[in-house]
A = this chain, B = another copy of it.
Amino acid sequence: MAPLPPERPRALLRWPTYLMGHLHRTGVSRIDAELAGSGVSLREFYVLVCIGESGPLSQQRVADRLGLDRSDLVKVLDRLEAAGWVLRERDTEDRRRHVLTLTGDGRATVGKVEEVSSEVTAELFGRLSPGERETLHRLLLKAFGEPSG
């Protein structure tokens, strides 16, 4: 028989932080599970997107934009560079920095992850109508502090 869904404590459902935590974890788990074969994690995807979007960046800049610590980013980039998705070169104008560039393979990986992410997102919010999903997204953006465009 199907393992009936666990009954959550009603008193915790009051807290958006609790709800977002569960939805976030569920989404990450499902996406990572789908991506297991591709050898890329959701966290690495974020880094790839950041580099791909804002052109060549230093590691410190990527860390700032993603809210990561630059020391943690080092290991992520080690993997992304080894996979051939990111080019890591010395900045000739400031030899303290590295210049990070997304490769063609990196861009292809981003596309693949976006597909998976779209599917999982649709499934994660399957109980919501398209209008409700759009409203939820808009409110999250606003709470996040970004223009809703």
Question: Residues on A close to B: CB < 8 A?
Answer: 5-13, 15-24, 27-28, 31, 42, 46, 49-50, 52-54, 64-67, 117, 120-121, 124-125, 127-128, 132, 135-137, 139-146
Contact = CB atoms under 8 A, between A and B. Distances in A.
A142 to B, nearest CB: 6
9 contacts: A8-B65, A9-B49, A12-B46, A13-B144, A16-B140, A17-B28, A18-B46, A19-B140, A22-B67
Contacts of A24: 17, 20-21, 24
A17 B49 contact: no
Nearest to A28: B17
Copies of this chain, count: 2
Contact of A143 (B125, B142, B146): B125
A17 B143 contact: no
Contacts of A120: 17
Nearest to A110: B11
Given A24-B24, A49-B12, A145 B19 contact: no
Contact of A16 (B7, B10, B136): B136
Given A24-B21, A67-B6, A15 B121 contact: yes
Contacts of A144: 8, 13, 19, 22-23
A21 B67 CA distance: 12
